[in-house]
C-alpha cells in the first residue's frame, strides 16, 4: 500500500526503515503518463520508490501560474500506487520553508541563466534549491527526472557532480501523445484550438532532426526547425528555439546535439526538446 506523508519527521522514520536501493521521483503533482514512466523506470532499478509532490513557490515568478497550477492529490496518489511508489511525500510550504523564502539558495551557474533561466529569471535558483532539499530529506541512491525538462535535468546532474551529492541522476525519455505533443501538466490549460497550435513545438523538433539527418549544419538545422514552427499563420509565439550540445554548450559541427524550444500558446507557456545527431 502506498503511504502518504506530509511532515519531514515522518518521512525520516519511513526512510530509515527502507533497506536496499532507494529511488526518488520529484513532481509538482497533476501527474500524467509521463510521471508514471518515471516511476516505472525507478521501479526497474530500485528496491524502494519515494515520490514527492510539492508545488514549489520558489520557481514561480510574480506573474506566473502558481495559484492556478493544477492540483489533483487523489488522482496523483492513485497513479503513484499503480506505478509502485511506496511513499508519497507531500509537504506543505511551511514544512519545506519554515522560515519563509530561504536566504541561501543554489546558484545554477551560467548554464542556468540561459533559455528557461533567461525567460524566467531566478527559476533555476528555485528549482535547484528545492531539489537539493528533497535529496537531503529522501536520501536516495537514484533520482529520476524527465528529459522533457532537459535543462533542468542537465543542471541537476551538474549540481550532483559539483557538490559531490551521493546520488545518481538518471533521465527518462519524453512521453508524447500519438500526434507528438509532449505530455505536460500545463496541457490541461489548452483549448482544442490551442492544443492544435501547440503541435508546432514538436513539428519544429522533427523538422530540425530530419534536416540534421540529411546532413544540415547547425545553421541549416535551426532554419528548418524555425520554418516548421512558423509555417502557415502561427498563433503561437516563439520564445526561443536553440541548438546545443548535450551539456547545453555550443552545438557541435557533428555528433550528438539537443534542440530546445519554448513558446506561448494562448496564455500557456510550453517547452519541449529532442535529441538529434549532426552529420557534419
Residue 1 has pLDDT above 90, yes or no: no
- What pLDDT is stored for residue 8 in this prediction? 98
| Sign of the alpha-carbon dihedral angle for 99, 126, 140, 47 | positive
pTM: predicted TM-score of the whole model, two decimal places: 0.97
Measured in degrees and rounded to the nearest 5, phi and psi for residue 265 equal: -120, 105
pLDDT digits over 190-214, tens only?
Answer: 999 999 999 999 999 999 999 999 9
**If pLDDT is split at 50, 70 and 90, which confidence band does 70 have?**
very high
Residue 23 has pLDDT above 90, yes or no: yes
Question: With contact defined as beta carbons under 8 Å apart, do 25 and 144 qualify?
Answer: yes
Instruction: Please compute the mean of the pLDDT values over residues 254-265 and round it to a whole number.
Output: 98
Return the active site residues.
35
**If pLDDT is split at 50, 70 and 90, which confidence band does 143 have?**
very high
What does the mean pLDDT of the chain come to? Answer: 97
Rounded CA separation 220/259 (Å) = 13
pLDDT digits over 113-138, tens only?
Answer: 999 999 999 999 999 999 999 999 99
Residue 263 has pLDDT above 90, yes or no: yes
pLDDT digits over 221-245, tens only?
Answer: 999 999 999 999 999 999 999 999 9
- Per the rule left: phi > 0, alpha: psi between -120 and 50, beta: everything else, 270 is beta
Distances (CA, A) of 157 to 72, 85, 143, 147, 163: 29, 23, 10, 12, 10
Q: In this prediction, what percent of the chain has a pLDDT beyond 70?
A: 100
Question: With contact defined as beta carbons under 8 Å apart, do 170 and 157 qualify?
Answer: no
Residue 280 has pLDDT above 90, yes or no: no
Instruction: Please compute the mean of the pLDDT values over residues 163-172 and round it to a whole number.
Output: 98
- What pLDDT is stored for residue 63 in this prediction? 86
Amino acid at each position: 500500500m502506498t503511504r502518504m506523508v506530509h511532515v519531514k519527521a515522518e518521512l525520516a522514520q519511513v526512510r530509515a526503515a527502507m533497506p536496499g536501493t532507494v529511488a526518488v521521483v520529484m513532481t509538482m503533482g497533476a501527474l500524467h503518463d509521463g510521471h508514471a514512466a518515471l516511476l516505472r523506470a525507478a521501479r526497474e532499478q530500485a528496491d524502494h520508490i519515494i515520490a514527492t509532490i510539492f508545488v514549489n513557490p520558489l520557481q514561480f515568478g510574480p506573474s506566473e501560474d502558481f495559484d492556478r497550477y493544477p492540483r489533483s492529490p487523489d488522482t496523483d496518489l492513485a497513479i503513484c500506487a499503480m506505478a509502485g511508489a511506496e511513499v508519497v511525500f507531500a509537504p506543505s510550504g511551511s514544512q519545506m520553508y519554515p522560515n519563509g523564502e530561504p536566504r541561501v539558495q543554489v546558484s545554477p551557474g551560467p548554464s542556468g541563466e540561459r533559455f528557461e533561466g533567461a525567460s524566467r529569471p531566478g527559476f533555476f535558483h528555485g528549482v535547484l534549491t528545492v531539489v537539493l532539499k528533497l535529496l537531503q530529506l529522501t536520501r536516495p541512491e537514484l533520482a529520476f527526472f524527465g528529459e522533457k525538462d532537459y535543462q533542468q535535468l542537465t543542471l541537476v546532474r551538474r549540481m550532483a557532480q559539483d557538490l559531490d551529492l551521493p546520488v545518481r541522476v538518471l533521465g527518462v525519455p519524453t512521453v508524447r501523445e500519438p500526434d507528438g505533443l509532449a505530455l505536460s501538466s500545463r496541457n490541461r490549460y489548452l483549448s482544442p484550438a490551442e492544443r492544435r497550435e501547440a503541435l508546432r513545438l514538436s513539428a519544429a523538433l522533427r523538422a530540425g532532426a530530419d534536416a540534421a539527418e540529411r546532413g544540415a549544419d547547425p545553421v541549416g538545422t535551426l532554419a528548418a526547425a524555425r520554418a516548421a514552427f512558423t509555417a502557415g499563420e502561427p498563433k503561437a509565439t516563439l520564445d526561443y528555439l536553440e541548438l546545443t550540445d548535450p551539456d547545453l554548450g555550443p552545438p557541435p559541427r557533428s555528433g550528438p546535439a539537443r534542440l530546445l524550444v519554448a513558446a506561448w500558446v494562448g496564455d500557456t507557456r510550453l517547452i519541449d526538446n529532442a535529441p538529434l545527431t549532426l552529420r557534419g
